[in-house]
Chains A and B, each alone.
Chain A
Amino acid sequence: MSDIIASSAPRADRLRPATDEQLRWFDITETDRSRAEALAATADELAEPIIEDFYRHLLSFEGARRHFRDDDQIARVKQGQLRYFRELVAAALDDEYVANRRRIGLIHERAGVTPTLYVGAYAYYLHSLGHMVMDRMQDDPARAVSLLLSLNKIAHFDMALALETYVDTREAAIEQREREMSELPTPVLQLRDGLLLIPVVGTLDSFRARNLTVRVLERIRDLRARAVVLDITGVAAVDSAVASHLIQTMTAARLMGATAVLTGLSAEVAQALVKIGVTSEALHTAGDLQHGIEIAERLMEG
């Protein structure tokens, strides 16, 4: 399972610090762990009443109630929560713990449990437990506070793990969508005999640019095209790298015997590219689409 998480978010994984580094960031020491463990017996005993209380709170919210199908499911989730809070005070904070916490975060994210619901539930648990522990340790309030503060550190570490998973999952979804978008074949429209229009949209990285070139060449061959209008109105960030890709595509088209004309570049961006050093001849720009088509037609006839 942790493999699945890793493979669905490779980039975030590379950036994520190791577990001991994270513990250091949260300043969680051996002392904190043993203090949290000292709370284990109390937490165990109190977990059920806290969780019962929490569900009364939770189920008074219409939006939260919709997460549950039936009482059976509520019972199962309560069980899971008992285990979750027991591990908070008892489990070793190692790689396995982290992987497990991230897995739970993933399940929450998939189930549509929002960060607000998640953090709110956590806060509810912590303050209920806090009150009860203070009540029980009235003879030694200083120790009670130090135990709870240690637990607090671990709880924050825990929440961070879950929230990181939320973010990673969303990022992976965005990347996935971008990848799917970039794999969509660019449409090649035949405006009339021998004249092709290719509207390029989105970003143009080298992978996409290569696909574009291959496709343009195929269509020129299949349709015996003599002119190609490449419209980049929908390309979001035109710079020298994109210009380089476009020049390569257009050069390839010309080598196949078709005239290539570029349209949809704003005057200001075209100016900026020229100042950067991209020669306008290489790009062969023709202003707007209408003008580009006229030029292409003239070039075909001439």
Chain B
Amino acid sequence: MSPPVLPAEQVLRIARDGDIVAARQAGRLMASEIGFSRPEQALIATAISELTRNIVSYAGTGRLSCRAVQQPRRIGLRIIAEDQGPGIPDLEAALRDGYSTGNSLGLGLPGTRRIMDDFDIRSAPGQGVTVTVTKWTSC
């Protein structure tokens, strides 16, 4: 069997609502190319939506990158959302269900952590935020 051709990395500039829609679509397409099921594609699109929405709402502008990652027995989709905005002073609080400084549900970050397999967030005040998440195919 020949190894599957993995889709190329995509990097998208995120600055406004329209970019959120475009990023979701790009991520969903890549997820389907990698072989994720439709419900998994929806989870990935939702995670992208949450991360990019946070960029637009709290940092103004940033970048999203999506790429396929391969390990001996599985393939994954890795999403990195990064910005140079004000950063998050209290990460622990930001990851708690219901914590929101934007009068919203406060579910974006904790929810994304729940629906993705790997989740990593880095931030320092004034240094922006970098969130790296990965979803692995179930094979």
Contact = CB atoms under 8 A, between A and B. Distances in A.
B50 A276 contact: yes
B133 to A, nearest CB: 13
Interface string A135-160: 00000000000000000000000000
Interface string B103-124: 0110110111011000000000
Q: How large is the interface on A (under 10, 10 to 19, 20 to 34, 35 or more residues)?
A: 20 to 34
A119 B21 CA distance: 32
B43 A243 contact: no
Nearest to B44: A272
Contacts of B20: 203, 237
A10 to B, nearest CB: 11
B39 A276 contact: no
B18 A277 contact: no
B46 A244 contact: no
Interface stretch (A19-27, A183-191, A263-271): A263-271
A272 B16 contact: no
A273 B97 contact: no
Interface in A35-53: none
A294 interface: no
Nearest to A202: B17
B42 interface: yes
Interface string A257-284: 0000000001011011101111000000
A175 B115 CA distance: 32
A240 B105 contact: yes
B111 A271 contact: no
B134 interface: no
B115 A239 contact: no
Contacts of B38: 268
A96 interface: no
Interface string B24-44: 100000000000001101110
A243 B46 contact: no
B67 interface: no
Given A237-B21, A239-B108, A277-B111, A271 B49 contact: no
A125 B50 CA distance: 49
Interface of A: 11, 15, 174-175, 178, 203, 205, 236-241, 243-244, 247, 266, 268-269, 271-273, 275-278
